[in-house]
Amino acid sequence: MYRYVIFDLDGTLLNTLEDLAAAGEYVCAQNGWPAHTLEEYRYFVGNGIPKLCERFSPADQRSPERLAQTLEQFTRYYDAHKEDATAPYPGIEALLDALQAAGVVFGVLTNKAHPLAKGVLEHYFPGRFAFVQGALPGVPVKPDPAGLRQLMAAMGADAASTLFVGDSNVDIRTAKNGGLAGCGVLWGFRTEEELRGEGADHIAADPAALAQIILE
């Protein structure tokens, strides 16, 4: 049994892909840039919104000054529309209930900006998450383990008793960099092949299977 669990946010707890893609496509349309498919956004996301903006921008529109403007455009639109299509994945609420009943302490580590992450979690999971670490100035984002270590210290978690749960290679790499077991989930944005290729210790097909992995 794992006594502590750290979740990724986008693609793990919440399906945010449509709203992220809609914001990106709004920026592309406003600037006359080529459009992208929802499938492409599965691979654009995962490293934070600044990197997402870089990935959907044309190669000749990636100067620091231009990317700052793109980020501002994206953020303004996304802030107004971030709850249009976003929803918890089926089974997540029941999973959190089971973990709470078993006394498991859980938190969230995300590359979303910290204030945005806190707001989204409180909107969709009010009162559920006491421990949240989003992107903060001066703290490297995942897969660097700096934020993970800060979050674990706040939780009182030790590596041997902690499971990191996420849907992408970035998440499994973060777990490895922090000396944790990593569990890849198959309901998110990436593939089982990617998660296994990165060295996931566990694979969960659905939240019920994840509960078994954590509580067994």
* Contacting residues for 64 by C-beta, under 8 A, at least 6 apart: none
Place of tokens 């945010």: 16
Cβ neighbours, 10 Å, residue 155: 19
- The rounded distance, in Å, linking the Cα atoms of 55 and 213 is 34
Q: b/e for 43-52, b at 16 or more Cβ within 10 A?
A: ebbbbbbbeb
The pairing of beta strand 202-204 with beta strand 181-185: parallel
* Contacting residues for 21 by C-beta, under 8 A, at least 6 apart: 36, 38, 41
Confirm if 144 and 170 have CB atoms less than 8 A apart. Answer: no
Which secondary structure element, helix H or strand E, spans residue 19, and what is its range?
A: helix 17-31
Q: Which one from 8, 19, 167, 171 is the annotated catalytic residue?
A: 8
The answer to whether residue 8 is catalytic is yes
Beta-strand ranges (E) seen in 55-158 are 87-88, 105-113, 131-135
Confirm if 139 and 164 have CB atoms less than 8 A apart. Answer: no
Catalytic residues: 8
